[in-house]
Structure 1
Amino acid sequence: MAFDFDDMEAEAEARLAEGDDSARLLLGAPDPPAPWRGGTLPPMRNLSNDATRHVPARQDLHKYLQPLKLEITETFNTRVRLFVFYGAGDSAAAWVQLVNQVPAWIDLAIFERRGHGQRSSEPFSERLVDDAKDAFEALKHILEDHAKGGSFEGAPFALLGHSMGCQVMIEVALLLKQTLGLEPAALFALDRGAPHVALYSAEGYRLLLERPEEFFQGFNPLVYKLMQRPDAKENKDTQRMINMWKTDCRLSQEHLWPEGHHIFHCDLHVVRAQKNFLLDTKKDLTEELQRVREINCRITNSGPRCSAPWSPESYDAWAQWSTEPCQVHDIDAEHMAVKLHAHTVRLITDVLQRKASPHSV
Structure 2
Amino acid sequence: MKKIKLFCIPYAGGSAAIYNKWKSHLSPSIELNAIELAGRGSRIQEGLYQNISEAVEDIFKFISKDIQQAPYAIFGHSMGAMLSYKLVQKIRDAGYVEPVHIFLSGRGAPGIKRDDKKKYHLMNEEEFKEAIMKLGGTPPEFFEHPELMQLFLPLLKNDFKLSESDDIHADLKPFDQNLTVFLGKDEDLTAEQCDSWKKHTNKLCNIHYFNGGHFFLHDEPKQITKIINHVLLDRIYE
TM (norm. structure 1) is 0.59
Partner residue, 1:254:
165
Q: 1:216-262: per-residue Cα shift (whole Å, max 9, x none)?
A: 42343466967964x63xx2x32111112111111100123535342
Tell me the distance in 2 between the aligned counterparts of 1:198 and 1:84. 27
User: Equivalent residues in 2 for 1:67-78 (5 A)?
Assistant: 77-78=1-2
How far off is 1:118 after superposition?
1.5
Structure 1, unaligned stretches of length 5 or more? 1-76, 146-154, 278-307
User: Equivalent residues in 2 for 1:149-188 (5 A)?
Assistant: 155-188=70-103
Q: Which has the higher strand share?
A: 2
Tell me the distance in 2 between the aligned counterparts of 1:104 and 1:165. 24
Structure whose alpha-carbon radius of gyration is higher:
1
Partner residue, 1:81:
5
Which amino acid in structure 2 is aligned with residue 164 of structure 1? M
TM (norm. structure 2) is 0.87
Tell me the distance in 1 between the aligned counterparts of 2:132 and 2:23. 28
Q: Contact between 2:113 and 2:168, CA under 8 Å: does it hold in 1? A: no
- What is the percentage of aligned positions where both structures have the same residue? 22
Q: Secondary structure at the match of 1:318?
A: helix
Tell me the distance in 2 between the aligned counterparts of 1:191 and 1:220. 17
Which amino acid in structure 2 is aligned with residue 97 of structure 1? K
User: Equivalent residues in 2 for 1:10-21 (5 A)?
Assistant: none
Partner residue, 2:189:
310
How far off is 1:195 after superposition?
2.2
Partner residue, 1:217:
130
Distance 1:85 1:199, change over 3 A: farther
Tell me the distance in 2 between the aligned counterparts of 1:144 and 1:228. 43
Q: Does 1:134 align with 2:62?
A: no
User: Equivalent residues in 2 for 1:3-82 (5 A)?
Assistant: 77-82=1-6
Residues matched between the structures, number? 235
Q: Does 1:208 align with 2:87?
A: no
Which amino acid in structure 1 is aligned with residue 189 of structure 2? W
Structure 2, unaligned stretches of length 5 or more? none
Q: Contact between 2:21 and 2:221, CA under 8 Å: does it hold in 1? A: no
Tell me the distance in 2 between the aligned counterparts of 1:188 and 1:313. 19
Tell me the distance in 2 between the aligned counterparts of 1:177 and 1:265. 10
How far off is 1:193 after superposition?
0.4
Tell me the distance in 1 between the aligned counterparts of 2:21 and 2:140. 27
Tell me the distance in 1 between the aligned counterparts of 2:129 and 2:208. 28
Tell me the distance in 2 between the aligned counterparts of 1:227 and 1:243. 14
Q: Contact between 1:194 and 1:314, CA under 8 Å: does it hold in 2? A: yes
Distance 1:356 1:130, change over 3 A: same
